Amino acid sequence: MLKTLLAKHPLAQYTCAAAIGASGVLCFAPFGLFWLAPIVWLALFALLQHARSARDGALTGLAFGLGFFLTGVSWVYVSLSVFGGMQWWLAGIAAFLFCSVMALFPTLVGWLFKRWQPAAYWRQALFFAVLIAAVDWIRGWIFTGFPWLAVGYSQAPPSPLAGFAPLLGVYGLSLLVALSGALLLRWRSGLVFMALAVSSGLGLQQIPWTTPIGEPISVALIQGNVPQEMKFRPEAFIRTLNRYRELVEQNPAQLTLLPETAIPAFFDQLPAGYVESLKATAQAHGGDLVLGTLSGDGGERYWNSAISVGKSPLQIYSKTHLVPFGEMIPPGFSWFMHIASIPMSSFSRGPEMQAPLAVAGQFVAVNICYEDVFGEEIIRALPQAGILANLSNTAWFGRSLAQPQHLQIARLRAVETGRPMLRATNTGMTAVINADGSVQAVLPPFTEGVLKGEVRAHQGMTPYAHFGNLGFLLLAGLLLLASQWRGRA
C-alpha cells in the first residue's frame, strides 16, 4: 500500500523523506539512539529505490537533507539572530540557506544513486553506503569543511561500532551504518551483517591500541558561564577577569584549562600583574595554566590563541582552522559581516603544524572550538602528544543541541586517537573524556563550575592516527568497484 502511495504521489515521497531526515537527529547526542541510525538510512535507501528517475532521487535526497539539517543544526539561527545582531527574519533566511547548502550533499547521493544504480540488490546496498560515506567525507573539507552530524558520529560510545573508529575513523563508521541499513531491506542478510559488525566492533574494543604512560596528573577545567552578550562589554571585563582568577586560586591542579577567549582581550594588554598572579598560582602547585585569549603582532594581524603560564616556559597555540563568517570572512562576503555584528571576525590563521604544549610534565595537543571536528588535523600532533585538550565557547549557540553534539564529536576523537580528551568550555559541556571515549566526568551546561579530576597520558598509535582517512578511502574505493563491476540498471 505504501509503495503504491509513493508511486502515485511524489509529494508524499518527499514529505516522508523530510520526516525521516528529521528523525535522524535522534541518533545523535543528546538523544543517543545510535541503534536507530541503520533504520533511518534503511528508510532513505528504500525511498531511493522507489524513486522513478535521477531527478526524483535528487529531490528525495534534498527533502531528507532539509529535514535532517534544519532540525540538527538549527542552532545556526541562534548565533546569527540572538548574538550576531541580525533581524530575526534575515537570520531565519540565512540559516535556511545554510541548511539548504548542506542538504545538497544527500541530494547528490540521490541523483548519483539513481543515475548509476546497479541491478543486483547487494550491489545497490554497497553503492548507497559508499555514496553516504563519501559525501560525509567531502563535506569535511570542501569550502573549509563542515562535517558536523556526519553519520558516523552517531556511533560514538556506547555504540559497539565505535570499535571500528581506531581503524577507519568517523567516515568508516558512516559507511558501516549506511551499509547495515541498506542490507536490512533483506532482513535475513541484514541481521547477519549486523551481528558480524557488532561482534567485530566489540572485539576491536578489546585491543589496547595505546597504553597509559607515567603517573596521573590532576586537572581543573574551568567553566566560566559568561553570557555571550556580556563577553565583550567593557563594564563586565574586570568582573570576568577577577572571577576567573578566583576560580583558579580556589581549585589548584597540575594542569588548569580556561575556555576559548576566556580572557576577551589581547594577552599583552591585560591589566598589570594579572598574568603574573595566574602564573604564581600555577607555580605554587608545581603546574601550568592554559588560557584562551587573543594574541597579535602589534599590527593588523591577530589570532585566537591558547597561552600557557606557570612552571613551564610560556607557550602559544594559535587556531589554524577558522570558522567561516565567525572568525574569517570568505572572499566576496564582506557585505555579510556588515549585516551581522560579530566581534573579532577577521582572525589570522595560525601555522598548520604546531608542536604540542609541554605543560605539567606532559605534551598536550591543544585545539580550539570546532577544530576537533577535523580528525586528520588532530592527529598531526601525534605521537608526541599524550593528551588532547579542547578549549571552546559554544555560548554563541545558546541552549541548543550544539553543546551535547560537540561533546559527542570529542568522544569519537578520543577513540580514534587512543588519547584522553580534556574539554574546557564557557557554557558547556566541560568534560574529562577517557581514551576509550567514555566520559569520566562532565559539568552541567550553563552553570559556573570547575571540573576536577585526574588523567594519564597515553602512548602508541592507532591505525587511524598513522594513516588518517586513507584506510576509509581505500575501503570505499574497493566497495565502489565491487558495486559497479557488472552491469548497471
Of 10 and 431, which is predicted with more confidence? 431
Mean pLDDT of 45-50: 96
Residue 5 has pLDDT above 90, yes or no: no
In the chain, % of residues over pLDDT 90? 76
Work out the number of other CB atoms within 10 angstroms of the CB of residue 272: 6
Give the residue from 188, 256, 176 showing the smallest Cα distance to 224: 256
Q: What cell does 451 get? A: 571540573
Same domain as 246, residue 184: no
Same domain as 245, residue 173: no
Same domain as 323, residue 198: no
Residue 320 has pLDDT above 60, yes or no: yes
Query: Which residues contact residue 309 at a Cβ distance below 8 angstroms, ignoring those fewer than 6 apart?
Result: 275, 278, 279, 282, 288, 289, 291
Alpha-carbon span 450 to 479, nearest angstrom: 48
Same domain as 253, residue 183: no
Residue 231 has pLDDT above 70, yes or no: no
Query: Which residues contact residue 55 at a Cβ distance below 8 angstroms, ignoring those fewer than 6 apart?
Result: 111
Same domain as 335, residue 349: yes
Q: Is 311 in the active site?
A: no
Same domain as 52, residue 167: yes
Mean pLDDT of 360-384: 96
User: Are the C-beta atoms of residues 215 and 360 closer than 8 Å to each other?
Assistant: no
Same domain as 231, residue 195: no
Query: What value, to the nearest 5°, has the Cα angle with vertex 346 and ends 341 and 349?
Result: 150
In a domain, 319, yes or no: yes
Mean pLDDT of 114-140: 96
State the pairing for strand pair 302-310/387-392.
unpaired
- What is the domain range of residue 457? 213-461
Alpha-carbon separation of residue 83 from 91, 226, 405 (angstroms): 11, 13, 20
> Tens digit of pLDDT for each residue in 425-456?
999 899 999 999 999 999 999 999 999 999 99
Alpha-carbon span 368 to 259, nearest angstrom: 9
With cut-offs at 50, 70 and 90, classify the pLDDT of residue 38. Answer: very high
Residue 319 has pLDDT above 70, yes or no: yes
The total number of structural domains that make up the chain = 2
Q: What is the mean pLDDT of the chain?
A: 91
Q: What is the CATH number of the domain that holds 370?
A: 3.60.110.10
Q: Is 319 in the active site?
A: yes
DSSP string, 417-442: HT--EEEEESSS--EEE-TTS-EEEE
Residue 47 has pLDDT above 70, yes or no: yes
Q: Is 3 in the active site?
A: no
Alpha-carbon span 126 to 180, nearest angstrom: 10
Structure confidence at residue 160 (pLDDT): 98
Mean pLDDT of 154-181: 98
With cut-offs at 50, 70 and 90, classify the pLDDT of residue 102. Answer: very high
Structure confidence at residue 489 (pLDDT): 43
Same domain as 112, residue 253: no
With cut-offs at 50, 70 and 90, classify the pLDDT of residue 290. Answer: very high
With cut-offs at 50, 70 and 90, classify the pLDDT of residue 164. Answer: very high
> At which residue does the C-alpha cell 551581522 appear?
340
C-alpha distance across the termini of the chain, in Å? 25
Query: Which residues contact residue 205 at a Cβ distance below 8 angstroms, ignoring those fewer than 6 apart?
Result: 160, 162, 163, 436
Give the residue from 473, 475, 457 showing the smallest Cα distance to 418: 457
Alpha-carbon span 149 to 243, nearest angstrom: 35
Residue 123 has pLDDT above 70, yes or no: yes
Strand (E) or helix (H) holding 276 = helix 274-284
Structure confidence at residue 91 (pLDDT): 84
Residue 226 has pLDDT above 80, yes or no: yes
In a domain, 338, yes or no: yes
With cut-offs at 50, 70 and 90, classify the pLDDT of residue 488. Answer: very low
- The single residue of 114, 231, 311, 319 carrying the catalytic annotation is 319
Of 141 and 300, which is predicted with more confidence? 141
Q: What cell does 77 get? A: 539561527
- The single residue of 231, 369, 371, 416 carrying the catalytic annotation is 369
Of 23 and 8, which is predicted with more confidence? 23
Q: pTM of the prediction?
A: 0.93
Same domain as 269, residue 188: no
Alpha-carbon span 93 to 105, nearest angstrom: 20
Mean pLDDT of 87-112: 93
Alpha-carbon span 395 to 231, nearest angstrom: 10
Window from 5-14, 173-182, 268-277 with minimum mean pLDDT: 5-14
Mean pLDDT of 23-52: 97
Query: What value, to the nearest 5°, has the Cα angle with vertex 257 and ends 444 and 299?
Result: 120
Query: What value, to the nearest 5°, has the Cα angle with vertex 349 and ends 403 and 84?
Result: 45
In a domain, 422, yes or no: yes
In a domain, 359, yes or no: yes
Alpha-carbon span 477 to 172, nearest angstrom: 12
Mean pLDDT of 464-472: 98
Same domain as 266, residue 189: no
User: Are the C-beta atoms of residues 488 and 145 closer than 8 Å to each other?
Assistant: no
Residue 335 has pLDDT above 50, yes or no: no
In a domain, 476, yes or no: yes
Residue 332 has pLDDT above 80, yes or no: no
Residue 232 has pLDDT above 70, yes or no: no
Same domain as 231, residue 157: no
In a domain, 14, yes or no: yes
In a domain, 262, yes or no: yes
Alpha-carbon span 242 to 247, nearest angstrom: 9
In a domain, 489, yes or no: no
- The single residue of 260, 327, 371, 416 carrying the catalytic annotation is 260
Residue 339 has pLDDT above 70, yes or no: no
Residue 125 has pLDDT above 90, yes or no: yes
Same domain as 354, residue 425: yes
